[in-house]
Amino acid sequence: MIELREAKKFYRSGGEKVPVLRGVNLQIGQGEYVAIMGKSGSGKSTLLNLLGTLDVLDGGEYELAGQAVHKMGKGKRAALRNKEIGFVFQNFQLIPNLSVYQNVLLPLTYGRKKWVGKKAKVLNMLEEVGLSNKKSQKPSRLSGGEKQRVAIARALINEPSLILADEPTGSLDEGTTESVLQLIDRVHKNGATVVMITHDIEVAKRAERTLLLQNGMLREMANEAAYGI
């Protein structure tokens, strides 16, 4: 599903190139549930942006669903993003002026695939995440857990093969965290590949595999205690 080879990414700071990823290699199979951990500033979000095709590599190669992303232009990457990837962000990233229904509908609007009965599809999805009674409300009227469920509904509406979750429970309380994680578990069980960034070991334990990003390199985490997380 995902294959990163010698992936490099730099940021410029005061005219100097600061390496964030120093040659990351990563393979994730179809239907896997992977958690990526690391300290703040270790480059977790940068890695997720690269996997989500929101950013481009400065070196190395990236293949997603058999397609060479590193060779793609902006247009193709946007199309791939729309078709194959669903994002769940820590701060929900809902458009405040659009209703719950309109937010969830958005990926279908940009999609090249012609869906029959878009409205019914969105309403079904809202039903699935338990928000069908809030479809006309603006995000500002929702609780944190509800916002994240809207974001998950939006991420799933195009039936993507990859879900990228960046600290999806970072802004939620304990009770809400569990319901959101259960929702992600359900998505994974339905066959989607899930890559989740988290600080929380308990959250990471739900994944089949946990990776640690440290000093710009990615390693498998055999024993979390050994890395001092």
Partner 1 sequence: MKLLTGFKLAWFGLWANRLRVLFAMMGVVIGMFAVIVLISISIGVKDTLLKQMGGLGAEQILVIPGRVLDTASGQKDFLSGLTSVPSTLTYDDAKAVEKVENVRSVTPHLETVTTVRMGEGKDVKRLQSVLVGSTDQYSRVQHAELVEGRFFTKEEQKEKARVIVLGSNIHDGLLGKESVPQENSAPVKATPEPWWKRIFSSLTAQMVVAEKKEASLVGKEVVINDMKYKVIGVLAPNATLGASTDNNVIMPIETALQETDMKNLNKMIVEAKSTSVIDQVDSDVFAAIKENHKEIDFSVVKQEQMLKALDKVTTILQVMLVGITVTALLISGTGIMNVMVMSVRERTREIGIRKALGATTFEVMVQFFFETLLLCLLGGVIGIGLGYVFIELWNNNIFIFSLVLPLWGVKLALYSSLAVGTLFGIYPALKAARMNPSKALRFE
Interface positions with partner 1 (CB under 8 A): 49, 52, 54-55, 74-75, 78-79, 81-83, 87, 89, 93-95, 97-98, 102, 106-107, 109-111, 154, 158
Cβ of residue 174: shortest distance to partner 1, in angstroms?
27
In angstroms, how far apart are the furthest CA atoms of the chain? 52
Cβ of residue 66: shortest distance to partner 1, in angstroms?
19
Angle, CA 175 vertex, CA 197 and CA 189 arms, to 5°: 55
Query: Among residues 95 and 120, whose Cβ is nearest to partner 1?
Result: 95
The tokens for 72 are: 């793609």
Q: In the block, which residue shows the tokens 């990471």? A: 204
Angle, CA 89 vertex, CA 31 and CA 131 arms, to 5°: 85
Cβ of residue 45: shortest distance to partner 1, in angstroms?
8
Rounded CA gap, 52 and 80, in Å? Answer: 9
Q: Please count the other Cβ atoms lying within 10 Å of the Cβ belonging to residue 11.
A: 12
Cβ of residue 120: shortest distance to partner 1, in angstroms?
19
Query: Among residues 66 and 73, whose Cβ is nearest to partner 1?
Result: 73
Cβ of residue 224: shortest distance to partner 1, in angstroms?
28
Query: Among residues 109 and 223, whose Cβ is nearest to partner 1?
Result: 109
Query: Among residues 93 and 132, whose Cβ is nearest to partner 1?
Result: 93
The tokens for 144 are: 């944190």
Could you list the beta-strand ranges (E) of the chain: 2-13, 16-28, 33-37, 59-64, 67-68, 85-88, 162-166, 193-197, 209-214, 217-220
Query: Among residues 62 and 87, whose Cβ is nearest to partner 1?
Result: 87
Rounded CA gap, 147 and 194, in Å? Answer: 20
The tokens for 130 are: 């338990």
The tokens for 151 are: 């974001």
Query: Among residues 41 and 74, whose Cβ is nearest to partner 1?
Result: 74
Cβ of residue 228: shortest distance to partner 1, in angstroms?
28
